Amino acid sequence: MRMVIGNGLSFEKRSPRVTIWNEYIHERTDPQIAKVYPKGIHIALAEGLQPYGFLLRTATLEMLEHGLTKETLEQTDVLIWWGHLAHEQVSDEIVNRIQARVLQGMGLIVLHSGHRSRIFQRLMGTTCDLKWREDARRERLWVVDPAHPITAGIGQYIEVEPEEMYGEFFDIPAPERLVFISWFHGGEVFRSGCEYQRGLGKIFYFRPGHEAYPTYYNKDVLRVIANAVRYVGAPHGATPTYGEVKPLEV
């Protein structure tokens, strides 16, 4: 679709192309988790995001090249990442490939225990470690940047119950924009919605989503992820050139 604005200026508007990656181990090995996500977390996310009109595909660890071939990533505007048990099974080649695409402008959304994924650690340059407690109680995610587009349609906070606790200190670089902080019943707080930019690519880390709980059926959680897709997948400017260049004509 071509839209015209202002003095005849135009831009192309199309639905973001989204690849949802899930290691897809818990759901195939743990009957209790299979009851929560019988088709896998990746399918639950795809079904939850389908009403937003995105062009969706899914990929899992066991697929050839983890489902993230060069062609797939070249056709991806936003990569959503969920992992937990098998971070070290993701190959160097794929980590390098994702990093290159982020630097070129692909958006990346990292969910829950994806904080320890090799790609997130690579892009952050830190351990990305934290405190945790799996106690199946309440999480309240407070909006601390209501002007941010990722919070569109969300009230002052999101209530998620039950959810696993993550607590500070969270070993990440200071977020370029902090969108959410979480409070848990044990008194812990956590930087749970963090934005970064690497090269031309935007990155958003969003905390909720423990595999044993139905968090990815929560409409507010899905709304945040959908908003994040639009935000990190927005078009960027011209790709810069490097190295020796000829002088411009003046």
The reply to whether 171 falls in a domain is: no
How high is the pLDDT of residue 250?
80
CATH at residue 117: 3.40.50.880
Q: Is residue 26 part of a domain?
A: yes
Residue 240 belongs to a domain:
no
Cα–Cα–Cα angle for 213, 16, 147, rounded to 5 degrees: 70
Q: What count of Cα atoms within 13 Å lies in the side-chain half-sphere of residue 171?
A: 9
141 is a domain residue: no
The reported pLDDT for the residue numbered 9 is 43
CB 156 within 8 A of CB 143: yes
112 part of a folded domain? yes
**What are the DSSP calls for 100-169, one per residue?**
HHHHHT-EEEEEGGGGGSHHHHHHHTS----EEEEEEEEEEEEES-TTSGGGTT--SEEEEEEEEEEES-
Q: Mean pLDDT in the chain?
A: 94
Query: Residues 139, 163: contact at Cβ < 8 Å?
Result: yes
pLDDT at 164 over 80: yes
Which two structure tokens, joined as six digits, stand for 117?
Answer: 């994924």
pLDDT digits (tens, 9 = 90+) for 39-78: 999 999 999 999 999 999 999 999 999 999 999 999 999 9
Provide the number of structural domains found in the chain. 1
Q: Indicate the pLDDT class of residue 38, thresholds 50, 70 and 90.
A: very high
Residue 39 lies in a domain: yes
Range with lowest mean pLDDT among 26-30, 111-115, 245-249: 245-249
Tell me, yes or no, whether 210 lies in a domain.
yes
Structural domain that includes position 216: 2-128+192-232
What count of residues does the chain have?
A: 250
Q: Is residue 6 part of a domain?
A: yes
